[in-house]
Amino acid sequence: MFLRFFIILLISMNIALASENINVLLNQSPKVQAVVGSVTKSILLSGGFSGDKVYLINDKFVLKKFKIYPIKAIEIQKQAAVLGIAPKILYENSKENFVLMEFLGKSSVPRDQHTTKNVVHFIKTLHQVAPTSDMMPIDIFAKVQEVLHFLQSENLSQDILNKFTKVLSLKKYTQCNHRICHNDLNPNNLLFVNGKVIAIDWDAAGLNDPYYDLATINMWYINVPEVEKNLLKEYLGRDPKINELKHLNTMKTVVMAIVGGNLIKAGIQMGCIVKPETPSDSLSEFLPKIGKGEIKLDSGENLYKFGLVLLKEI
């Protein structure tokens, strides 16, 4: 989930070029046509390593075809949509593994003096979503361990593996509370619609420590000092205590390990065989280069390098 919208394949096509399965869903399902009307245009927006694919239909609707249907995440998105912070699901079909949603455009969250307030309003609203009784908390340290196992199997350097061991050692000092979290709040998953922050790509949503969402935002806005500095203060409505700042930093370290390790994993899966050197850039220097298109995340080597930059911050 952390990688999907960093590996976007913007492949424009008309309905005649859409996959056979999508053609069936669009043209032979009366329930789908009752929502979208006559289908004149289908554009494949993304197709990541998860196997999920996202289509823009008639420039008004989004069809998401899952490899594995995320029942609990869909229920969370429905609640979030009622609160105005997620796209509305207009039709769902768990048997065929897809949902139809409203398309909210591509307007990214502006990086200005209002960014912190807008983002925090979204996060506080999200953390009010009520979990169902059968939802189990996400074990974030198990996710770190999972990434470590993969990297060990690929014979990465001991220096890199030691970073994950360091993160895992934090578990015994970390007491987590749990609320409904998005768990993938990278900038590509946040839109600015009618003056409000709205999130897309809810597949990873579930019970997690609320500081995980805060830390994820904090990490991606590391090159926007006022956001990084004031995010927790705005969320709490007061100056944070030392233990709260420490907990945020712990969660940010966990996020960096999970995202960084998964980026390296994605790079290897995309064919990066020769291990690249760690770039000299800091994360705050590397991220703007991605935003400006100077570094394109369309190759295994660049994904691998991005992962190394993140892990360097640990």
The answer on pLDDT for 6 being more than 70 is no
CATH class of the domain whose range is 115-312: alpha beta
> Which band of pLDDT confidence, cut at 50, 70 and 90, is reported for residue 237?
very high
What letter represents residue 306's amino acid? Answer: F
Could you check whether 4-102 and 115-312 share the same CATH topology?
Answer: no
The CATH architecture that domain 4-102 belongs to is 2-Layer Sandwich (3.30)
Domain ranges of the chain: 4-102, 115-312
Instruction: Detail the DSSP E strand segments found in the chain.
Output: 42-47, 53-57, 61-65, 89-93, 98-102, 179-181, 190-193, 196-199, 206-208
* C-beta of residue 182 within 8 angstroms of C-beta of residue 247: no
pTM for the complete prediction?
0.89
The pLDDT tens digits for 76-135 are: 999 999 999 999 999 999 998 999 999 998 898 887 778 899 999 999 999 999 998 889
Average pLDDT, rounded, for the chain: 88
Backbone angles phi, psi at 313, to 5 degrees: -75, -15
